[in-house]
Amino acid sequence: MTKAQKRSRRIYEATFAPIGRVVAKTGITANALTIIAVLISILSAFFYAIQNPLLGMVFLVCSSLADMLDGSVARARGTSSQFGTIFDHTMDRISEFFFLLGIMAGRYSPPEFVFFCFEGMLMASFIRAKAESMGVDNCSVGIMERKEKLTLLGFASFLEFLNQYQLYPVIKTWPLGAPFLPLALALLIIGTLSNISALQRLLYAKKYFKMMNTEK
């Protein structure tokens, strides 16, 4: 993890810690919040599928907030565990699947862009999980992490809403010759940067193992 990522993590934990303590007092558990985040992602997918990108974005943000809170609640309740981490990361991937499924069902993007994006997300996540399971110390490196992905999707959803209702002058075509679709472009960017992140994590793992073998 880079210094910038560590600083971002500290800011995030400091911001959500008080909220986590308040939510913890209600009796709700971290795992329950993780499940709620997935259920909200299904609502987001539904609204994308019926071509309502604004509500799709709103529920995407709500799902992300619920997911961000689960760690704070676990720390506040003293229930942080290795299983909780695995469960959280697994549900994150399921939420991402629903977001992309809704976007594809709403025809905001060619299916190949959706699959390319999902492949990049999975590869980055898989390489991190595999590397850390083999002893690599915190392989969460890379230029495209989950918060960046969801921020970009949310911003593109808002642009899609403006585009759909002609609330701003839009570019009718873009370099690929297809209609200008902000969500399609966002998926292409996320897929590309996620694959770059996967490569960065692979190289980080290689460097880590080389360093460990040298020290031996």
Q: What is the pLDDT along the chain (216 residues), one digit of tens a residue?
A: 556 566 766 776 777 778 888 888 888 888 899 999 999 999 999 999 999 999 999 999 999 999 888 888 888 888 888 888 889 999 999 999 999 999 999 999 999 999 999 999 999 999 999 999 888 888 888 888 888 899 999 999 998 898 887 766 555 544 544 455 789 989 999 999 999 999 999 999 999 998 887 755
Question: 74, 80 in Cβ contact below 8 A?
Answer: yes
Residues 6+ apart with CB under 8 A from 202: 127, 131
**What pLDDT does residue 40 have?**
97
Residues 6+ apart with CB under 8 A from 142: 124, 196, 197, 198, 200, 201
Total count of residues recorded for the chain: 216
**What pLDDT does residue 5 have?**
62
103-131 burial: b if 16+ Cβ within 10 Å, else e:
bbebebbbeebbebbbebbebbbebbeeb
Q: Is 179 helix (H, G, I), strand (E, B) or coil?
A: strand
Beta carbons within 10 angstroms of residue 137's beta carbon: 10
Specify the residue for token string 């902000």: 182
**What pLDDT does residue 177 have?**
45
Question: 150, 200 in Cβ contact below 8 A?
Answer: no
**What pLDDT does residue 21 have?**
84
* pTM of the predicted model as reported, rounded to 2 decimal places: 0.86
Q: What letter represents residue 142's amino acid?
A: G
**What pLDDT does residue 182 have?**
86
Domains defined for the chain, CATH in brackets: 3-215 (1.20.120.1760)
d(CA 213, CA 216) in angstroms, rounded, equals: 5
Specify the residue for token string 């469960």: 87
**What pLDDT does residue 179 have?**
52
Q: What letter represents residue 34's amino acid?
A: T
